């Protein structure tokens, strides 16, 4: 099985206890919550792809979708300062 990152959307009417139970279940699968967004109804989690179908079947989960982060190279920018000297007359 492969660990992948997923966006998990919960129903708006999920109680705080329900949200905590889903987070505990993800952690129980060996997953890791990366981020909790939008009033705790959107989770970004890294977990084994073998458990995704269990989440999709949960009545409080409305969406489970894979997330991929594109690697971008960041160019290195160097600032060279010129030394300005004032010449007096």
**3-state SS string over 12-75?**
CCCCHHHHHHHHHHHHHCCCEEEEEECCCCEEEEEEEHHHHHHHHCCCCEEEEEECCCCCCCCC
Rounded CA separation 78/22 (Å): 47
Q: Tell me: the pLDDT tens digits for 38-64?
A: 989 999 999 998 999 999 999 999 999
| 54 located within any domain | yes
| 9 located within any domain | no
Structural domain count, the chain: 1
| 50 located within any domain | yes
Q: Which domain holds residue 28?
A: 16-64
Q: What is the DSSP letter of 79?
A: -
| 75 located within any domain | no
Q: Tell me: the pLDDT tens digits for 15-24?
A: 999 999 999 9
pLDDT for residue 75 is more than 80: no
| 41 located within any domain | yes
Tell the burial category of 22 from Cβ atoms under 10 Å away from its Cβ (0-12, 13-18, 19+).
buried
| 3 located within any domain | no
């Amino acid at each position: 099985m492969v660990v992948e990152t997923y966006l998990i959307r919960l129903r708006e009417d999920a109680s705080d206890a329900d949200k905590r139970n889903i987070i505990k279940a993800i952690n129980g699968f060996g997953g890791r919550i990366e981020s909790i967004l939008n009033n705790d109804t959107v989770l970004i989690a890294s977990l084994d792809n073998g458990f995704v179908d269990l989440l999709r079947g949960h009545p409080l989960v409305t969406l489970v979708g894979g997330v991929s982060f594109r690697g971008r190279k960041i160019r290195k920018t160097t600032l060279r300062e010129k030394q300005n000297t004032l010449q007096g007359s």
